[in-house]
Structure 1
Amino acid sequence: MTVLLAGLCTVDVVQRVDELPAPGEKVQSLSVAVAAGGPATNAAVTVAALGGSATLLTVLGAHPLAELARADLVTHGVDVVDVLPEHADPPAVSAVAVRERDGERTVVSHNAGGIRRHFPRLEFPEGVRTVLVDGHHPELALGVARWARERGVPVVLDAGSWKPVLDELLPLVDIAACSAHFYIRGKAPGPSLHERGVPTVITTAGSGPVRWSTSTASGEVSVPPVTARDTLGAGDVWHGALAYGVGQYELPELIGFANEVAAERVRHTGPRSWVTAVRHRRMGVR
């Protein structure tokens, strides 16, 4: 019952403000929080919150800042495998501001673009049911996806934006979950990804309906109406719920399940306050 997630882990410094600052403006924050972030990382926290076993393969390294992210993940039940423990540079850091009245946010992040390494000695847990990759560490994503394909384990791709590694990665993907901003050389995700061998393509659009397509069917699933208090990481939470639900739900119920979990996330302020609510409700998990 393990979900294996591979990708980016950042240290997020999150400040809640009355209004997002204009250029050159200084504002006083209402609160500040520090947590691990990144697409695969937030998805891993979601899997654990839903009662699953989450193993995250990522790069943290030996810098003291990495301990902030590592401690947060351990606290929230994620098994962290650092594939580059000797990495001496600071981990990727994101500066986040979240607007109090509607949960809208701005994010400035360095991500992991400077880490170009091979990971020849990857170790994988037993009993992996689903794999999720976000493509931020290209060699890591390819290694994990190839491992999963050889064993018939479904691969979910968090396709937030186009990355060069996707030319090699897409043929290994079973479900591509794309943002509304994802385009391949000007083409929309559905047809263009099916042409590249992806069986199932899902496209989110914020509060709008989630569209899905396969080679034989298509449709859309409405998002629950909710008063948003914090949208930070909501898409990552949605991807984590989707990966957790693979094998338990079929389309379109799988999307409806992910929509409900993400809706719970945006109802709560702060990077982790939603986790307790999801654990208590378990969102009707089987």
Structure 2
Amino acid sequence: MYVYILLQLYHQVPSSHRRKAEGREWKMTTITTSLHPHCNTIATVLSPLCRSSSIGNHRVQLHKKIPHLFLSSSSSWSRNSSRARMSSERLTPLPEDRIVVGLGLLSVDYLATVASYPKPDDKIRSTSLKVQGGGNSGNALTCVARLGMSPRIISKVANDNQGRDIIEELETDGVDTSYIVVSKEGNSPFTYIIIDNQTKTRTCIHQPGYPLVPDEISSANLLSALHGAEILYFDGRFPDTALEIAKEAVSKNIPILIDAERLREGLDDLLELADYAVCSAKFPQAWTETLSIPTSLVSMLLRLPKLKFVTVTLGEEGCVMLERMSDDPQMEEVDVDSLLDTLKQRKDDTVTVPTCVISPKAKLRAEGIGTLTGRLILGTAEKILPSELVDTTGAGDAFIGATLYAICAKMPAEKMLPFAAQVAAANCRGLGARAGLPWRSDPRLAPFLN
């Protein structure tokens, strides 16, 4: 029975992660399992996973007891694993080794939860403390890996304990870390994150490491990293290196998605090469110096003719996408701000799951900016019960990871936005940027993946 259980544990790990693990040296690992309240059994298994293993929706900590409820009996385990296999078999299959390449920040996150955010000169205690990997690109590509794709990350850490932990955690989740530069000097980036348990908001204090410069990525490594890539993603860090990689990607017709979180040095040059952009709530208006979100989106697409769509995320208010469409001179003009107001009126506030409201194709007019043919899409966020909302850290990164998946899976916009919102909402139910990221087999994702 014990061998059967261990085999079931192995087969619940996504195949892309098993393929990656099987290419590395296997380590002897001991798992203490509690199969009965009065019977602890030591089972020695071969495991490629270093500290922990993610199995389905469960996190199994190595060298610790697996909860009795998780492995209660062989019969209940058989029923649960059979349901998991049946659910997995119904998922729409993805081509093997669908590759997403990302360049950007990696860090260690120190997450301290407090009852309420401190006032100046206060001394308070945290109610919990958690340490985990972070950084926009690391979070987004972890999301991509859990959804069943094969991400590669280009970044830089230091040769310190934090850097080794960053790499180890990514590898455990199935992210290819072969293209991470390890510096002999300096420190790996880290972030202090204070989570206000009262308002469910977070405050981030970041300490950067040494930047990744173009000379640290050889031509051979760059070509290897981009080989077979379906899409390239930038989080806006390391602008000089990012621009060199982006130019190479354009020459190979690899589409580019930019995370436009805030105004950064070199971001304008990257945006000019981008096919897709996902922006924070404040970015479009700050970048275009316009007064409304719809007007700013029209302005962005007019200034960036290569962009196919731009999405702005609005937290619990959902998101708005402007999708470029072929020009039609016969179409009547529609004021884009008024159109968004109309979409908001059509939204059904009684629905708790993510949905979207779509405008028909139109010639959208932004006062004082110009016109663009396209459609405006209003996406809603999931209504999460207060008792289930844990932390919003990394919700935007989860949204981007799901968007990368959706682009590669050729999801239409009306399916992409609710899917990305669902993934982001799942992540808000865990502490930190990665604990709540769902796996491809998560039943909450079944409506989008079946």
Q: Same fold (TM over 0.5)?
A: yes
For structure 1, list consecutive stretches of 5 or more residues without a partner in the other structure: none
For residues 193 and 390 of structure 2, what CA distance do their matches in structure 1 show?
A: 15
User: Is the 1:42–1:236 Cα contact (8 Å) retained in structure 2?
Assistant: yes
- CA 1:58–1:279: 2 relative to 1, 3 Å: farther
Counterpart position of 2:351: none
Deviations 1:85-104 (A, max 9, x none): 23511021100111224431
Does structure 1 residue 186 correspond to structure 2 residue 327?
Answer: no
1:246 alignment partner, SS class: helix
After superposition, where does 1:151-190 map in structure 2 within 5 Å?
A: 151-182=252-283, 183-184=286-287, 186-187=289-290, 189-190=296-297
Counterpart position of 1:274: 436
Does structure 1 residue 211 correspond to structure 2 residue 314?
Answer: no
Out of 202, 211, 214, which is 1:118 matched to? Answer: 214
TM-score normalised per structure 1: 0.91
- CA 1:108–1:196: 2 relative to 1, 3 Å: same
- CA 1:283–1:171: 2 relative to 1, 3 Å: same
Out of 25, 32, 35, which is 2:122 matched to? Answer: 25
After superposition, where does 1:1-286 map in structure 2 within 5 Å?
A: 1-111=98-208, 115=211, 117-119=213-215, 120-121=217-218, 122=222, 123-182=224-283, 183-184=286-287, 186-187=289-290, 189-194=296-301, 195-197=303-305, 198-215=307-324, 216-227=374-385, 228-248=389-409, 249-275=411-437, 279-281=441-443, 283-284=445-446, 285=449
Q: Percent identity?
A: 26
The Cα of 1:37 is off from its aligned counterpart by 1.0
For residues 242 and 66 of structure 1, what CA distance do their matches in structure 2 show?
A: 28
For residues 432 and 287 of structure 2, what CA distance do their matches in structure 1 show?
A: 33
User: Is the 2:427–2:433 Cα contact (8 Å) retained in structure 1?
Assistant: no
For residues 186 and 43 of structure 1, what CA distance do their matches in structure 2 show?
A: 28
User: Is the 2:423–2:437 Cα contact (8 Å) retained in structure 1?
Assistant: no
The Cα of 1:282 is off from its aligned counterpart by 6.9
The Cα of 1:10 is off from its aligned counterpart by 1.2
For structure 2, list consecutive stretches of 5 or more residues without a partner in the other structure: 1-97, 325-373
For residues 145 and 58 of structure 1, what CA distance do their matches in structure 2 show?
A: 15
User: Is the 1:264–1:277 Cα contact (8 Å) retained in structure 2?
Assistant: no
Query: With CA pairs under 8 Å and 6+ residues apart, which has the higher RCO, 1 or 2?
Result: 1
Code of the residue aligned with 1:45 in structure 2: it is: T
2:298 alignment partner, SS class: helix
2:412 alignment partner, SS class: coil
Q: After superposing the two structures, state which structure 1 stretch, 115-124 or 97-106, moved more.
A: 115-124
Deviations 1:123-182 (A, max 9, x none): 415421121111111123223322322222221111100112122111210111001110
Q: Which of 1 and 2 has greater Rg?
A: 2
Code of the residue aligned with 1:61 in structure 2: it is: A
Q: After superposing the two structures, state which structure 1 stretch, 89-98 or 121-130, moved more.
A: 121-130
For residues 161 and 89 of structure 1, what CA distance do their matches in structure 2 show?
A: 26
- CA 1:206–1:60: 2 relative to 1, 3 Å: same
For residues 277 and 208 of structure 1, what CA distance do their matches in structure 2 show?
A: 25
User: Is the 1:50–1:282 Cα contact (8 Å) retained in structure 2?
Assistant: no
Code of the residue aligned with 1:170 in structure 2: it is: L
User: Is the 2:156–2:183 Cα contact (8 Å) retained in structure 1?
Assistant: no
Corresponding pairs, count? 285
- CA 1:143–1:87: 2 relative to 1, 3 Å: farther
For residues 227 and 439 of structure 2, what CA distance do their matches in structure 1 show?
A: 29
Deviations 1:75-116 (A, max 9, x none): 22211144432351102110011122443111111335x526
**TM-align CA RMSD:** 2.1
